[in-house]
Structure 1
Amino acid sequence: MISRETIDRVFETARVEEVIGEFVQLKRAGSNFKGLSPFSEERSPSFMVSPVKQIWKDFSTGKGGNAVSFLMEHEHYSYPEAIRYLAKKYNIELEETEQTDEQKQQADERESMFLVSEFARDYFQRILLEDNEGKAIGLSYFKERGFTDETIKKFQLGYALNDWDAFSSEALNKGYNLKYLESTGLTIVKQDLLAPNGTKQFDRFKGRVLFPIHSMSGRVLGFGGRILTNDKKAAKYLNSPDSDIYHKGNILYGIYYAKQTIAKEDNCYLVEGYTDVISFHQKGVENVVASSGTALTENQIRLINRLTKNITILFDGDAAGIRASIRGIDLILEQGMNVRVLSFPDGDDPDSFAKKVSEQELKEYLENNSQDFINFKVSLLMKDAQNDPVKKAGLIRDIVVSISKIPDRIQREVYIQECSRIMDISESVLFSELAQLDKKEKREASGKQPYDKPSEPVLTKTPQLEKVNELKKYEREIIKILLLYGNKEVDFVDFEAPETIDPKKPQKLKKVHITNVVSKEIYLNLQEDEVEFTDDIFKHIYYAVIEQLNQNESISVDVLVNNSNPEIANLVTNILMDDEKYVLSNWERKNIFTKSKESDLSKMVLDAIYNLRRVLIEQKINSLQLKLKNEVERDESMLSIIDYNALKVLVAERLARVV
């Protein structure tokens, strides 16, 4: 674990405008910077960076946060990866919190495996580009595949000499430990009594061109190697074995290079092989990843799900290969994702097709020929069913099984209607089949027998929703005032109520002048009424603010902006950047001037407090009115309603006076 001190030092040192400036072209806009959103296609800037507040806001997508959250959104780093990136950028020494000896050893071993893998990547690429054998065999192969020098360097392609231990000997001579060469799978170690140390080592990838496999953050996890000879005893493709840093079913080839475009295009093309990915990139289609020739796994789907909800599976023209891979569609649907499918003409795969056509033709083909998964499944499997009623019934059941995997009920219904239309079968039959599948799945999940009676659904009353939303509206307003103006001292003009209140008559209120800090005035009022926030995020922020006031007698929003909870950090950022959108519009240049909110700060604070009281009183009266039906509680409830109505009148008077 990275120590708290290191994280604090990173936040203190990192400059949000410097970090974002490496990814987005920023221009000065007053005290801020603005630029085009890196998360959407736009022509007018809607992306704002505040050096003073050390936060950013993308008004086109609603995203926002600090330097760490930008790296998590844009580069799709995890929180620790973002901290490590910034620590490296600003030359901050990483301190790890106390770990057990076992944890330390495991962390050291993983890092050693990464270092060995990165040495291997550099070594194999150097052999490809500089060694005579590498250039004659490996580089020639890649050139024949149509890869440019730029593409070869971008994907860090390499070549392993056709020698039993050329790489292993070089690594050992450079001081790398044989233990990590073996654990990464780069070197195969065998017992040999005739050898000096009783063992002999061999290069796993000898005589192969190599494709480094990267993590989401760009670290080398393993390699895929293709043999170039016609040796029938050797596998055509060979991957690194599973290790502590590489699990084949947990990673997708090309994800590091594709992640930004996938998020931006909101779609991911899924192919099978390394060269499919590289050829697409070279033709300008960069939102593409490969399953590396394995059956798609849930972890691989979740990796894409972090970036987009939309997957387009690209198949070659081989029908047998399509049938073998089509099971992956159900796994994708289970994750709540949208699936489209596209096949290429017979004899073509994504790699060969991309080489035949221009960039524009490739993009047009992808856009115009993808099908919904139901249409694709029907067109593929109907060839087998044809006029056989039994096979057709089996096909329909197969499609309904796929639909049953979709978590969203509205999507299910739309797909059932589509299936009914295509297959010429009544919707009621399909819905009945779907219901049977649902019941079976629920029984299996809960362990219930078929005769168990399902519990009745709990119905909620929707009329209360508006009042809940109104309550959250004023809770948010109070949080906003605390964050923006909590440390300011203000002259409040309030009104005192008389000792007795007649709910049927307007009240004579006495004007009172009070000077107080905004945060303390809010705190005292909420304490007096014993108000609890209903929204968990607002509640967390409020308590964090009160804790700061108790300790420092002032509020520091940096602590909340840099909160590790992304919901809290995002909400605070949104509030702090609310007014910056006016800078983007250049209203002052158009002679449109907005009134300063600080000029009405006293009114703003009291207005928020009294409106919150008003909503709470209305809710209390409504709950008491329900008790009037109970004869035992009727008299007591009626008296309470009268008291609360008197308070309601008083609050209304105060709101009118504040206005």
Structure 2
Amino acid sequence: MARIPKETVDQIIHTADILEVVGDYVQLKRQGQNYWACCPFHNEKSPSFSVNPSKGLYKCFGCGKAGGVIQFVMDVEGSSYPEALRALAKKYGVAVPEEEERTPEEQLAQNERDSQYIVSNWAKDHYHRLLQNTEEGMSVGYGYLKERGLNLTTIQTFELGYSLDQWDDLLKSAEKAGYQLKYLEKTGLVIKREDDQGHDTGRRYDRFRGRVMFPIHNVSGRVVGFGARTLKRDDKMAKYLNSPESEIYHKSDVLYGLFQARQPIRNQELCYLVEGYLDVLSLHQGGIKNVVASSGTSLTEGQIRLIKRYSDNVTVLYDGDAAGIKASLRGIDLLLEGGLNVRVVLFPDGEDPDSYIRKVGDQRFTDYIEGQSQDFIAFKTTLVAREASHDPVKKAEAIREVLQSIAKVPDGLKRQVFLQQTASVFGFDEQVIITEYNKLLKTSSPTKARPEESRAPSPTPPAAPRRALTPEEEAEEAMYGVSSGSEEGVGLLSPTPPSPADDGTPVDVLQQCEQAVLRLLVLYGPHELQEGVSAAHYLLSQLEGTPLRTPLYAQLWDEYRQAFLQGQILDVRQLAHHPDAAIRHLLADFATERYDLSPNWRIKDIYVPTELNLLQLACDNAILRLNKCHVQRERQQCLAQLNDARLDENEQLNALLRYNELTKLDGQLAQMLGTVVARGA
């Protein structure tokens, strides 16, 4: 593959908006100068993932993932650096030089995952061409889609296709195009035939034959698998056939239609959840574009996390089938447990979203789902109460079933409201329902029991000592204020100090001092301390003879210094895309702060200076502290020499003189630090 020129890389970095790119995957909310969300890389319920738009960096305080916009695409998509660059270039319309001519082997040699993406995308295009350019595709495939009311725009938007009713059409076409057989097998597009003993017979055939093809995209639009519907009337043949699990396709982490629905879901702050492919297609065509499908599988935690990236609100559109509703209740409990606000729309008997919108039309369908939408707990309570209305035993079981769903709701206030509703519907005193709810929690297994927050609130809960916070909870506290309900201790917060090493030992003091000057250099290098003197110029000149000893810090310091000598002052947005992953992570640590200034100060119009306001002071302090640290380390070395019996009298005298000089210098530096602090106070 041709190397992307540096000028093009710089243009992509300059053009790409990290808020927009990250916002395609998570629901960002502004808090102070940064934006926060639940991390897309690990499961959490409290936001610990932060984006700093001014510096173009992101960091998760829970799992530690960090970097710039290119690194984010690499992390979230599992793609290579060139692939991430090209994806961003495509998104922002940046022209990338044409690739050099490549053989099919070179095309597939990037890595296993990329090869499977390439084969899947080719198969999607192949099926799409067959649908539109072959007699069988037009008469059978396109004829079926037209019969289901789908127009050409919808077919193009979702890239629908058709597989010919032949054993090896795709196999022969792929081999002719130069694609390797092993990737056709890994993606499940081709199946190898085995004998009765499980031995490979050497014969291969297409998995999908004579079916309408529904490409399944991940959230970035890459094809990861296919759903396929047969058009034959054969009871022995499955109506729908899906791609098997692969390195790029995990059914539990994919929602059909999410790629097309991401922005509409975010804009309307609501996701409609249906079961089938045609439900999504018909509703999208009818103007309801914020709709996704679980593709006929049971709802999974991975799919719920996907929905929560874009909205906290989900409305489930149920087929009008009582047995189907009962089977789906567990999936709804998972939605509640995931912290989503869940509503339900029930269609008339025998109808599903696809059939009903074709029956009543777009506007009447929209009016129906808006008018019939009801809260899930209320829906479930009414449903089970009606079924158990004349049977005391069933009624007790029905109440427990509802309480189990309420226990999944993370929000305590919502749980209290639901308990009140349940008591009202079943005609019980509220305290009886609360007592039963608390008993249910006590009898739950330890692995399933919710923390103390799930218990119905007591009139006077006992105070308990505060436990240690998880990283997610620390980030949540950082978002909503350092002090709960109090303004004590709120003020200018220093940047997060270096953490202890993983083995529990404290970080070396010299390393902390080196980190302080390096951080100021990379974050504020271009800013002027006085006319004609940048922070970079000041720091580099003042510390010219003071090399950094920490290897990673020394590497970055030297690179910055070399660029400065060539007349370039590097900006943190440029450095964020450094080829060294360790440096990218370090920069994200520097640029992303866990805490932000309390909004109470802004509301009261109290001026609180930021680090940038006091940049000269910060630079002076950092320089003095680093020099003082070096002096103290040299003093320790002199002291060790004085205690070394192997040294002669003359050497010990020189060590003593040097020790006294350093002691005096250390005192002067301490005095200067005190003077600097007093002057800036």
Q: TM-score, normalised by structure 1?
A: 0.63
Any conservation in 1 of the 2:529–2:615 contact (CA below 8 Å)?
Answer: no
Q: What corresponds to 1:64 in structure 2?
A: 53
Q: What corresponds to 2:465 in structure 1?
A: 458
Q: What corresponds to 1:592 in structure 2?
A: none
1:214-233 matches, within 5 Å, as 214-233=217-236
Any conservation in 2 of the 1:490–1:602 contact (CA below 8 Å)?
Answer: no
Q: What corresponds to 1:373 in structure 2?
A: 376
Q: What corresponds to 1:290 in structure 2?
A: 293
The amino acid that maps onto 1:307 is Y
Q: From the superposition, tell whether residues 77 and 344 of structure 1 become closer, same or farther in structure 2 (CA, over 3 Å).
A: farther
Q: CA deviation at 1:432?
A: 2.2
Q: What corresponds to 2:10 in structure 1?
A: 12
Q: CA deviation at 1:234?
A: 0.4
Counterpart selection for 2:614 from 601, 605, 621: 605
Q: What corresponds to 2:302 in structure 1?
A: 299
2:188 matches 1:185: yes
Per-residue CA deviations over 1:214-238 (Å, capped at 9, x if unaligned) read: 1111111111111111111101111
The amino acid that maps onto 1:326 is L
The amino acid that maps onto 1:439 is K
Any conservation in 1 of the 2:109–2:115 contact (CA below 8 Å)?
Answer: no
Which of 389-398 and 165-174 deviates more?
165-174
Q: What corresponds to 1:78 in structure 2?
A: 76
Any conservation in 1 of the 2:187–2:243 contact (CA below 8 Å)?
Answer: yes
Q: 2: CA distance between counterparts of 1:257 and 1:438? A: 40
SS at 1:146 equivalent: coil
Any conservation in 1 of the 2:522–2:571 contact (CA below 8 Å)?
Answer: no
Q: 2: CA distance between counterparts of 1:72 and 1:482? A: 19
Any conservation in 1 of the 2:315–2:343 contact (CA below 8 Å)?
Answer: yes
Q: 2: CA distance between counterparts of 1:464 and 1:234? A: 63
SS at 1:316 equivalent: strand
The amino acid that maps onto 2:530 is V
Q: 2: CA distance between counterparts of 1:156 and 1:300? A: 22
Q: 1: CA distance between counterparts of 2:74 and 2:360? A: 32
1:287-366 matches, within 5 Å, as 287-366=290-369
Any conservation in 1 of the 2:27–2:308 contact (CA below 8 Å)?
Answer: no
Q: What corresponds to 1:472 in structure 2?
A: 493
Superposition RMSD in Å: 5.1
Counterpart selection for 1:281 from 265, 273, 284: 284
Q: What corresponds to 2:154 in structure 1?
A: 151
Q: CA deviation at 1:485?
A: 8.7
1:94-109 matches, within 5 Å, as 108-109=111-112
Q: 1: CA distance between counterparts of 2:539 and 2:421? A: 56
Q: CA deviation at 1:373?
A: 0.9
Q: What corresponds to 2:528 in structure 1?
A: 488
Q: What corresponds to 1:558 in structure 2?
A: 573
Q: From the superposition, tell whether residues 559 and 71 of structure 1 become closer, same or farther in structure 2 (CA, over 3 Å).
A: closer
Q: CA deviation at 1:307?
A: 1.8
Any conservation in 1 of the 2:130–2:161 contact (CA below 8 Å)?
Answer: yes
SS at 1:164 equivalent: coil
Q: 1: CA distance between counterparts of 2:401 and 2:423? A: 14
Counterpart selection for 1:118 from 109, 121, 128: 121
Q: What corresponds to 2:96 in structure 1?
A: 91
2:162 matches 1:164: no
SS at 1:294 equivalent: coil
Q: CA deviation at 1:192?
A: 7.1
SS at 2:335 equivalent: helix
2:269 matches 1:266: yes
Q: CA deviation at 1:173?
A: 2.5
Q: CA deviation at 1:20?
A: 5.7
Any conservation in 2 of the 1:483–1:555 contact (CA below 8 Å)?
Answer: no
Any conservation in 2 of the 1:316–1:322 contact (CA below 8 Å)?
Answer: yes
Q: 2: CA distance between counterparts of 1:446 and 1:380? A: 25
Any conservation in 1 of the 2:191–2:206 contact (CA below 8 Å)?
Answer: yes
The amino acid that maps onto 1:316 is D
Any conservation in 1 of the 2:617–2:676 contact (CA below 8 Å)?
Answer: no
Any conservation in 2 of the 1:224–1:240 contact (CA below 8 Å)?
Answer: yes
Q: 1: CA distance between counterparts of 2:189 and 2:394? A: 49
Structure 2: gaps spanning 5 or more residues: 29-49, 59-67, 90-94, 100-107, 452-460, 468-481, 498-518, 541-551, 578-583, 598-606, 622-674
Q: TM-score, normalised by structure 2?
A: 0.61
Q: What corresponds to 1:58 in structure 2?
A: none
Q: What corresponds to 2:132 in structure 1?
A: 129
Q: CA deviation at 1:79?
A: 6.9
Q: CA deviation at 1:295?
A: 0.8
Give aligned-pair identity as a percent: 38
SS at 1:340 equivalent: strand
Q: 2: CA distance between counterparts of 1:522 and 1:420? A: 68
Q: Which has the higher contact order (CA 8 A, sep 6+)?
A: 2
Q: 2: CA distance between counterparts of 1:602 and 1:234? A: 69
SS at 1:78 equivalent: helix
Per-residue CA deviations over 1:185-218 (Å, capped at 9, x if unaligned) read: 222221479xxx9432222211111111111111
Which of 233-242 and 555-564 deviates more?
555-564
The amino acid that maps onto 2:85 is L
Q: 1: CA distance between counterparts of 2:533 and 2:228? A: 71
Q: What corresponds to 2:240 in structure 1?
A: 237
Any conservation in 1 of the 2:70–2:85 contact (CA below 8 Å)?
Answer: no
Q: What corresponds to 2:654 in structure 1?
A: none
SS at 2:437 equivalent: helix
Q: CA deviation at 1:140?
A: 0.4
Any conservation in 2 of the 1:114–1:219 contact (CA below 8 Å)?
Answer: yes
Q: What corresponds to 2:667 in structure 1?
A: none
Q: CA deviation at 1:400?
A: 0.8
Q: From the superposition, tell whether residues 549 and 439 of structure 1 become closer, same or farther in structure 2 (CA, over 3 Å).
A: farther
Q: CA deviation at 1:342?
A: 1.1
Any conservation in 1 of the 2:305–2:338 contact (CA below 8 Å)?
Answer: yes
Q: CA deviation at 1:567?
A: 8.5
Any conservation in 2 of the 1:190–1:200 contact (CA below 8 Å)?
Answer: yes
Q: 1: CA distance between counterparts of 2:486 and 2:398? A: 44
Any conservation in 2 of the 1:548–1:555 contact (CA below 8 Å)?
Answer: no
Q: From the superposition, tell whether residues 353 and 270 of structure 1 become closer, same or farther in structure 2 (CA, over 3 Å).
A: same
Q: 2: CA distance between counterparts of 1:447 and 1:341? A: 25
Q: 1: CA distance between counterparts of 2:382 and 2:187? A: 44
1:377-396 matches, within 5 Å, as 377-396=380-399
SS at 1:156 equivalent: coil
Per-residue CA deviations over 1:370-412 (Å, capped at 9, x if unaligned) read: 1111111022222311221221111111111111112232322
Q: From the superposition, tell whether residues 72 and 484 of structure 1 become closer, same or farther in structure 2 (CA, over 3 Å).
A: closer
Q: CA deviation at 1:133?
A: 0.9
Which of 6-15 and 376-385 deviates more?
6-15
Which of 217-226 and 430-439 deviates more?
430-439
Q: From the superposition, tell whether residues 163 and 521 of structure 1 become closer, same or farther in structure 2 (CA, over 3 Å).
A: closer
Any conservation in 2 of the 1:190–1:199 contact (CA below 8 Å)?
Answer: yes
